[in-house]
Structures are given as structure tokens and as C-alpha cells.
Chains A and B, each alone.
Chain A
Amino acid sequence: MSESAPLTIDQPGQAASATPPAPGRSRRLSDRWLAGAFISPALLLLLAMSVFPLLWALYLSFTDYSATRGGPAHFVWFENYTAILTSAQVHLRAFTTLIYVVGAVALQTTLGFTIAYLISRRTHGRGLLTTLFLVPMMLSPVVVGLFWRFMLDAQFGVINSMLGSLGLGQVEWLTQQGTALLSLIVVDTWQWTPFIMLIALAGLTAVPKYLYEAASIDRASEWFRFRTITLPLVWPLLLIAVLFRAIEAFRLFDLVYILTSGGPGVSTETLSFHVYKVAFLGFNTGTASAYGILMVLIVLVLTQLYLRYLNKLKED
């Protein structure tokens, strides 16, 4: 669009300045050249650092290569894949991941939207409140993980200390089968509730005021207004935030690594963490690659969904 218009208008200006002959043609060529020169370095880097490694992983996934043993890789075709897909261990990890993703995302969506709704109804101190709520999101997962590990410590953690002063029993949050995954979900929720809140708030403040005014003239109830005005207008944006969080939660590794290292037993071992164990502790590079490729496929499906909704939102 921006290309065709100037072509005709620019002729006089071009003729005046000292440029090579046939300015129209050279302009188009130079534009294309410029676009190529500006885009290709970035694309080349992505090809070298993202696509090439993934293709390599794809190749490795058909072999029995091991990073420590070295030596030539033997083709085993789909053996790695069938081994993974039929393994009860992997099914268990997939189930753990599912609980984790669904639990964390559901919790932070509910909480985040509630906070955003409450903030959007305030007239004073909105900026300050929002800023304060956003702090956890900006912290590194390392800091978040370490710190919660300290707070959830069974002996001198502050959470148990507070429970104790309330007369409740002590809980071994991170070292007990039942509570470890719950703790992980809580910590992830603590860190990422602000993310949902931020985006929900953006949606809520964009709802035109006159809609509410019209509704209150019609004496529509609060709940009715919420259901018919607020929710439909905020929902598309919220959905994008939820999908985004789902992708992030699915590929999460650092928090698990620092908080529980997959334990106790394998109760908090998500798929991401299991890949790490297979690749860097078991050194079954081939199997780990096959595993990784399968995870990439899931991420790609989720990303496609995310981008589709994003596109829809942009077109509206």
C-alpha cells in the first residue's frame, strides 16, 4: 500500500535530484532490496538459533544418540516415539502437567480478573494499586522460586510459623506428595495473577462508559450489566491472556527446578522437567529429542490458537 502510492507522486522529486535513470523502476527495486536487507539478518539469526536446532533435534529424535557416549548415531526410526507414547511414566508426567497447567491458569484467571474488576471500580489510587500488584510478575522465576522455598520451609518458614500462631498444624509443603504440586500451583499463581490482572484491566477500562450509563437508565441490575456488557467486551482479551499463560505454564521449567526438583518422588515432575532429566541426567539425547519434538508440537498447536484469537481481536 505504501509502496504504490509514492511511486507515481515521487517522479518529479526524483527527477530533480541526481539519481540514476528510470527512477520508478529503481525505486521499486531498491525498496525490495531494502526490505530484504533489513529483514534477512533477523530471520537468518532465527533460522540459525531456532529452526536449525529444532531440525537437528528432529534428526536426533530418530536415532539412539547419546551426548556423553559419543560415537555415531544409529537410526532407530520411530522407536523413541513409540517408547515415549506408550510409556506409563510419561502418561503420569503428562497428567501432572495437565493438573498444573489447568490448576494454575484457572486460579490466576479467577484471582486476576477479580482484582482487575475491583481496581476498575475505584476512582482513586488506581495507578498506585496497579503498580503494587504488578511487582511479582516482574521478578525472575529464580528469585520467586527461591524465596517461596524459604517461606514454605517446614522448620523455619514463615507460612508454617503463621499457621502455628493460628494454632494450626505444621505442613511439609514441598516435601509431601499431596502438597508439593499444590505449592507449585500457588507459587505460579502468585507470580502470574498480575499478568491476567493487567490484561483484564486493559479490557475493563476500554469498556465505554456510556454503555453502563444506558444500562443504569434501564435500571439493569449489577449482575445483568456485568454479564451483558462487561464480560462480552473483556472476554476476547482475557482469552488471549489465558492462552498465553497456558503456553508459558506448559513450558515452565525454572520454578519446578528450584522449588521441588520434581520431587517428592515424581509428584511434581512436569513434562518440561522430565525432558531435562532424560537429556541431562540420563543422557538419552535421542529419546529426549523425540520428547522435545512432541512438546514443540503441542506448543505449536497452542500458539496457533493464540495467534488465531489475536488476529480475530485485531480485526474487530
Chain B
Amino acid sequence: MAVSVDEAVSAGPGRDHTPPTRRRSGRGRAVLEVALLTVLAVVMLFPVLWMIETSIKENRDVYAIPAKFFDFKVTLDHFKDVFAGSGGGRSALSVSFLNSVVVAGVSTALATVLGVPAAWAYSRFSVKAKKDQLFFILSTRFMPPVVVVIPIFLMYRQLGLIDNKLGLILIYTAFNVPFTIWMMKGFVDEVPAEYEDAAMLDGYTRLQAFWKFTLPLLLPGIAATAVFALIFSWNEFVFAIFLTSSDSVRTAPPAIAGLIGGTTVDWGLVAAASVVFALPVLVFAYLVRKHLVAGVTLGAVRR
């Protein structure tokens, strides 16, 4: 293997190989590459596996020194603790999960309703300073959240929106709208404007043409965009921790982070809550894997 490393690295432009050696070194190199990929994959996935493992370990095994990788007792107690409160009834964590569903769901719906028509209009019409407008829209998404939250905090204090789900929904909508517009504009650009022209030739108005012909074609794109918006709001932490405080309003990220506040930390519970929290995201991300490049670059890069 060492030989193939040398060859892979140092084969300069001028060096000439005879065919047989090249083939052998090619195979050695392939083995090395697969080995390297495997090591990297293990390193990248280990924390995730460790989290899942911790979530099903008994407390004694969670804190075992040296760490137990295989022979531990499996328990689902931590998952039970995530949902069921200590005195019966629902736990504070499960309430925060429900809040997350509401906040992420409503803000995504709002961002879609506001963003999709805007994206269509930007794609179809000649708007004044279109490029500048689009750039402005995207740059609002890049503002540092810790900075934005200062005036938002003061603003919400005046409006009574502190510790209120509506406040979170509004700010999440505002940070998902730029993404929705950029992402959707790409999808709208892919639908030929001629469809609408043809429909208008048949006597439909522009609005009807959009509603009856373009919108149905956009549905898969809208679904993918909404899924990303959902993930962004679901994972958001900074606004959530500064703008909410009570258990009945808090979303899951600050609630999970709140688990490590005390002197002793129940890492099994933290792991279980994290798994429950991350699972829907992974499922959703898998559903939109085709659009991941566009999604994670906020709709800016398309392939």
C-alpha cells in the first residue's frame, strides 16, 4: 500500500508508466481510497451513533469509565422520560416539541404563501431593479441573529410579543421568506412562460393562468422548499432562546439546551431528546435529497 501512496502522490507529469504497473498501482490506490473513505465515514458518523447508543443505555452505562461500546443494557426509559412527565401527564419537553411543530408549521406555511407568489412575479415580470431587490432579499437572511434579536426584542416588548408563539412565528416567517423566494424562483424559471401565454390566449387572465397551469407544475418544488423552511425553523435556536422563556411557549431547541442547566446533567435524557428531535429532520432531508445543494445554499446555487 505504501508503494501506491507514493505513486498516487508523486507521479509527476513527465513520468511514464508501463501498462502492467499502472494497473496494479491503480488497484492498490482504489483499495487505499476506499479505506480512507471508510475511516472518514466512521469519524463523521461516530458522534451520531454514539448519541443513539447513549439514548438507549442505562444510566450506569452512560457514565461508565472506560466507555462501553457494545455490552450495555438496553433501556427505553430515556425515551419515556422525554414524553411523560415525572408526576404523570406530559413532560415539559413534549410540550416544547408540540410548540416546535406549531411554530415551524405555521411559519413555513406563511413563508410559502408569501414567498411563492413573489418568486413567480420576480420570474415572470420585469420588475424595477429586480436584481438589486433579489440581492437585498437574500442579504436580510445573512444578518447575524444575535444582532437582529436586540431591536426585535425591544420591538416585541412594546408589542407584547415576548414569550409569545406569534412573535416566533413572525420572525421565522421573515427569515424563511428570502429563502423561499430564491429557491422558488429557480423552480418557476424552469416552467416555460409559454404555458401561461397559451392559457391567456384561451381567454384566461394572467392570475388564472398562474393558478390553473403554473401552480400545479410547481407543487413538487413548493413541497421541497417548504421542507427546507420547516427544517430551518425547527432547528432554530437563537431567536427562540431570547424571545421565549416559559415552558408553555418554548420550542424544543431551547428546551433541550435547558436540560444541561443544573449541576448534574442527565445525558441519557439529553441524548434521547436529541434523537427524537433530529429524527424528523433526517427523514425530511432524505425526502428532499435531490434539492439539497439548492436548499443548503438558500436557493442560490442550482444544479
Contacts and interface: CB of A to CB of B under 8 A. Distances in A.
Interface of A: 1-3, 5-6, 9-10, 13-14, 16-17, 27, 30-32, 34-35, 38-39, 41-43, 45-46, 48-54, 56-57, 60, 67, 111, 114-115, 118-119, 121-122, 129, 131-143, 145-151, 155-156, 158, 161-162, 164-165, 190, 193-195, 198-199, 202, 206, 219-224, 237, 240-241, 244, 247, 250-251, 253-254, 257-258, 272-273, 275-276, 279-280, 285, 288-289, 291-293, 295-296, 299-300, 302-303, 307, 310, 313
A253 B50 contact: no
Given A13-B202, A147-B271, A202-B293, A272 B144 contact: yes
Contact of A49 (B8, B152, B285, B286): B152
A169 to B, nearest CB: 14
A300 B147 CA distance: 13
A57 B197 contact: no
Given A38-B117, A67-B153, A310-B301, A299 B142 contact: yes
A49 B170 contact: yes
Contact of A39 (B122, B142, B277, B297): B122
A42 B139 contact: no
Interface stretch (B79-87, B174-182, B217-225): B174-182
Contacts of A32: 125
9 contacts: A13-B200, A38-B118, A41-B117, A54-B143, A119-B37, A143-B256, A253-B144, A253-B238, A295-B144
Given A35-B127, A156-B64, A276-B146, A50 B197 contact: no
A9 B47 contact: no
B8 A3 contact: no
A140 B281 contact: yes
Contacts of A122: 33-34, 37
A197 B36 CA distance: 15
A31 B142 CA distance: 31
Given A3-B125, A5-B197, A220-B13, A46 B140 contact: yes
A17 B147 CA distance: 54
A258 to B, nearest CB: 6
SS class of chain A's interface: helix, strand, loop or mixed? helix
Interface residues of B, number: 104
B5 interface: no
Contact of B144 (A39, A135, A224, A296): A296
A34 B207 contact: yes
B274 A147 contact: yes
Contacts of B66: 161, 164-165
Nearest to A192: B296
B34 to A, nearest CB: 8
A143 B144 contact: no
Nearest to B150: A279
B206 A30 contact: yes
B33 to A, nearest CB: 5
B154 A45 contact: no
Given A140-B253, A221-B13, A133 B41 contact: yes
Contact of A54 (B151, B154, B201): B151
Given A39-B118, A39-B127, A222-B11, A139 B296 contact: no
B260 A285 contact: no
B76 interface: no
B118 A41 contact: yes
Contacts of A137: 296
Contacts of B74: none
Given A206-B303, A253-B145, A13 B201 contact: yes
B79 to A, nearest CB: 15
B126 interface: yes
Interface centre among A6, A9, A39 (most CB of B within 10 A): A39
Given A50-B143, A57-B147, A240 B297 contact: yes
B45 interface: yes
A224 B237 CA distance: 46
A235 to B, nearest CB: 14
A53 B205 CA distance: 39
Which 3 A-B pairs have CB atoms at the shortest separation, nearest pair first? A292-B147, A49-B174, A251-B144
